[in-house]
Amino acid sequence: MHALLSVVAAIALAQAPAPKPATPDEAKAFVKKLDADLRKLWVRQSTAEWVKSTYITDDTERNAAAMNEDVMAYVTQATKDAQRFKGLKLDPETERMLYLLRMSTALPAPSDAAKRTELANTAAKLEGLYGKGKSCKPGKPGKDGKATEECRDLQQLSKVMTRISDKKQPASYDELLEAWSSWHATSKEMRPLYERLVSLSNEGAKEFGAPDLGELWRSAYDMPPAEFEKETDRLWSQVKPLYDDLHCYVRGKLSKKFGADKVGATGPIPAHLLGNMWAQEWANVYPLVEPYAGQSSLDVTKKLEAQKYDPQKLVRLGESFFTSLGMDPLPSTFWERSQFVKPPGRDVVCHASAWDVTFANDLRIKMCIKIDEEDLITVHHELGHDYYFQNYYTKPVLFQQGANDGFHEAIGDALTLSITPEYLKSLKLIDALPRDEKGLINVQMKDALEKIAFLPFGRMIDQWRWDVFSGKVKPGEYNKHWWELRLKYQGIAPAGGARSEDFFDPGAKYHIPANVPYMRYFLARILQFQFHRAMCQAAGHTGPLHTCSIYGNKAAGAKLKAMLAMGASKPWPDALEALTGQRQMDATAILDYFAPLQAWLKEQNKGQQCGW
């Protein structure tokens, strides 16, 4: 009987009409509905994420995880449904939206509902662990005789790191080591969660047609993944000689400061001696490596404090740069809804970020602003995101992103290159202009410690994740591979000697537990100089690139706005060409900008054994 039924069913199936082939009109209707659905889901998701980031509790984590799960479920199903349009001749906008749909999530989820829930919860838990991370030790007994606990969060521990060059209260070698070690110990418990996130997200990536999540991420750049990886290697090879010169000079100065037993004349630099928790930017060691002492003061932080800047005033200063280029002021809701300071009595994610929560010019920044030069720069960077949002928010929601993710990170940073000594003096944030080559070298050294020092760090983080996602690196080698790459690219070694697999040092950097792709930051450091050179040309600047400021130049602003307004509606080479006239990313603008410093460094490093 069962066999007979099977035969009947087979005959019926064979006689059933074949499903109609998909049509371009159906694809167009699909993306129209997709835009409406995603807008609704993404607004709910970003609202939940905003609340979770500014008020970390178990409830807000659970709420955000539930919303992320809904988005994952929709995107996974929509991506599968879109496969039926593959191979059709579609209009450019429809084809672009279908491509961006597949690239729309950094964390693709499996179809299995239980696994999708687990992935959402795991991701929320990882970011929550980072935001709540504290290093605690027994304190002095209280009045009741019971020992209290003294805890320090990332902000407090980072403050110790910045004191490496403090003239009044410099942090000792051991204090720096203790602060670095304390923060890096907070990420230990992330390891099993991260291992599970890798497994589940790889499963999701396979359903999106990629062999692993790293391959999916590399597919988001309008070129084959393998070609993109070669492109990042090409860009790194352009700037590596300048980084090597800087590393060599800084290492020599640190060796003199701490002794050859702590920092050798050759080899890597210990990670805790560069003024930053991750040794990603080195601006805080500037007083220790200043080329020419006694030149004009470059202490912008001191001037900000003297002029009684508060967080909102610092943000107003950033806004004024964008409006000077012809852009609109930030909406009133920005000032009402942003988080400028850490609220008392609750856990928040202080890592700076920019938001358009409703994808409708609902602009915000989330920071715990310090009144210093570092956050002056960070404010400009975050407002760069917000002004990108402002210029494309009327487009379909899938087009509301950068031409590639490096573009988004580069905008604000490109404008900070116009924060020249002349501009700072006009704001009375420095006393006098550097008047000779010595002053210029000081300024360029300070800039290079932030911008050039970052480049290999930006390049290696996603290399670590690509190797983890592909299975090239097993869970038992997470920490080992992390430090191998940091040595290879940065010439940095772990503080206090080799680190065992008891630690999960990648998790001490926000973007790893938060699963934020990082190659965007490396590309941004390249693109910002390329953008700057193009805007300076539009402004009619003819002198050396490092002397150019586009502040107040409407022609440069118009060129920038034209690119921002495109969002992701066209492949990134089209957007790049709109601003720069070039279709390939190019690091030569960095070399143009820092040409005086590189020549000086080569002279200083004569006789030294550079490299590691």
Pairing, β 147-153 against β 269-270? unpaired
- Whether 13 shows a pLDDT value over 60: the answer reads no
Residue 591's closest CA among 233, 295, 245?
A: 245
H or E element that contains 274: none
Whether the Cβ atoms of residue 62 and residue 124 lie closer than 8 Å to each other: yes
Q: Taking residues 493-512, report their average pLDDT.
A: 94
What's the rounded Cα separation, in Å, for the pair 175 and 514? Answer: 28
* 151: exposed, middle or buried (Cβ count in 10 Å: 0-12, 13-18, 19+): exposed
Q: What is the reported pLDDT for 197?
A: 97
Whether the Cβ atoms of residue 503 and residue 182 lie closer than 8 Å to each other: no
Q: What is the reported pLDDT for 514?
A: 94
Cite the beta strand spans of 367-438 per DSSP E.
none
Q: Taking residues 360-364, report their average pLDDT.
A: 98
Q: What are phi and psi of 141, to 5 degrees?
A: -60, 140
Instruction: Specify the DSSP class assigned to residue 163.
Output: G
Q: What is the reported pLDDT for 158?
A: 93
Paired tokens of 214? 């790293």
* 518: exposed, middle or buried (Cβ count in 10 Å: 0-12, 13-18, 19+): buried
Q: What is the reported pLDDT for 1?
A: 45
Q: Taking residues 490-500, report their average pLDDT.
A: 92
Q: What is the reported pLDDT for 4?
A: 47
Q: Taking residues 518-540, report their average pLDDT.
A: 96
Three-state secondary structure readout of 527-550 = HHHHHHHHHHHHCCCCCCHHHCCC
Confidence grade of residue 5 (pLDDT, cut at 50, 70, 90):
very low
Instruction: State the Cα angle at 509 between 117 and 336, rounded to 5°.
Output: 75
Task: Identify the weakest region by mean pLDDT among 129-138, 228-237, 444-453.
Answer: 129-138
Site of tokens 């988080």:
339
Q: Taking residues 318-340, report their average pLDDT.
A: 97
As annotated, the active-site residues are: 351-352, 381-382, 385, 409, 511, 521
pLDDT in tens, 37-90: 999 999 999 999 999 999 999 999 999 989 988 998 999 899 989 989 989 999
- Whether 12 shows a pLDDT value over 70: the answer reads no
CA 240 to chain centre: 20
Q: Which residues contact 542 (CB under 8 A, 6 or more apart)?
A: none
- Whether 9 shows a pLDDT value over 60: the answer reads no
Cite the beta strand spans of 299-373 per DSSP E.
353-356, 363-366
pTM of the model: 0.86
Q: Which residue has the higher pLDDT, 140 or 475?
A: 475
Q: Taking residues 605-612, report their average pLDDT.
A: 93
Confidence grade of residue 257 (pLDDT, cut at 50, 70, 90):
very high
DSSP percent split of the chain into helix, strand, coil, nearest 5: 60, 5, 35
Q: Please state, as a whole number, how many other Cβ atoms lie within 10 Å of the Cβ of residue 458.
A: 23
Q: What is the reported pLDDT for 377?
A: 87
Dmax over CA atoms of the chain, in Å, equals 99
What's the rounded Cα separation, in Å, for the pair 325 and 414? Answer: 13
**Percentage of the chain with pLDDT > 70?**
96
Whether the Cβ atoms of residue 363 and residue 330 lie closer than 8 Å to each other: yes
Paired tokens of 515? 């699963």
Q: Taking residues 361-389, report their average pLDDT.
A: 94
Return the C-alpha torsion angle 86, 91, 93, 96, nearest 10.
30
The whole-chain average pLDDT of the chain stands at 92
Whether the Cβ atoms of residue 346 and residue 56 lie closer than 8 Å to each other: yes
Handedness of CA 539, 541, 544, 546 (dihedral sign): negative
Confidence grade of residue 479 (pLDDT, cut at 50, 70, 90):
very high
Instruction: Specify the DSSP class assigned to residue 339.
Output: B
Q: Please state, as a whole number, how many other Cβ atoms lie within 10 Å of the Cβ of residue 470.
A: 14
Q: What is the reported pLDDT for 419?
A: 85
Q: Taking residues 158-167, report their average pLDDT.
A: 92
Q: Which residues contact 571 (CB under 8 A, 6 or more apart)?
A: 222, 403
- Whether 6 shows a pLDDT value over 60: the answer reads no
Q: What is the reported pLDDT for 421?
A: 82
- Whether 170 shows a pLDDT value over 50: the answer reads yes
Q: Which amino acid is it at 266? A: T
Q: Taking residues 11-37, report their average pLDDT.
A: 81
- Whether 464 shows a pLDDT value over 60: the answer reads yes
